[in-house]
Amino acid sequence: MLEALHKAIEMEDEGRQFYLDSAAIAQNPSVRQALEDLAQDEQYHAEKFREIYEELSLDPNWTESLATCNFPLQKPITFPKIADEEARSQHDLTIMRTVLRLEQVGIDYYTRLAKEANHPLAQAFFSRLAHEEQMHYEKIAQLLNFIEVNLAD
């Protein structure tokens, strides 16, 4: 379990850095805000994983408090004004497609950890995290779809 948690910390840290770097160069304000929100969520995830890692290093038994997580509230999507040139940035669309792939990797990894976990609290924790990553995926997919549909006009 500790090895899996270490990998999860790395994934969340790398995802956060990608989102921050991408937000810094995003042209569309809605895309920038979505990336900044995701970076904040990934920071929370990494911190929670560090806490769990430290606790399980001392005592391998999951506790209710260890498995409890208060994920940040998901902010609503702000859809861009498609008439604005920055809303049509192909670069931003490429970033969002990459985000979808990263989030899918997280969904798959945490779903697998939930299935492989031996403790019900660990199963519940990783299932909640997979759901959180799914919400990220859906948020970006909605924004991407909105921009792509309006680009076709």
Residue 23: its pLDDT value, please?
93
Query: How much of the chain exceeds pLDDT 90, in percent?
Result: 53
Residue 92: its pLDDT value, please?
84
Name the pTM for this structure.
0.82
The DSSP output letter for 87 is G
- Does the pLDDT at position 88 exceed 70? no
Segment 35-73, tens digit of pLDDT: 999 999 999 999 999 999 999 999 988 888 888 877 666
Q: Give the mean pLDDT of 118-130.
A: 92
pLDDT tier at 91, thresholds 50, 70, 90: confident
Residue 80: its pLDDT value, please?
54
Q: Which domains does the chain possess?
A: 2-151 (1.20.1260.10)
pLDDT tier at 89, thresholds 50, 70, 90: confident
Residue 6: its pLDDT value, please?
94
For the chain, the average pLDDT equals 85
Q: Is 94 exposed, middle or buried (0-12, 13-18, 19+ CB in 10 A)?
A: exposed
Residue 78: its pLDDT value, please?
58
Query: Is 61 in contact with 89 (CB distance < 8 Å)?
Result: no
Grouping H, G, I as helix, E, B as strand and the rest as coil, residue 16 is helix
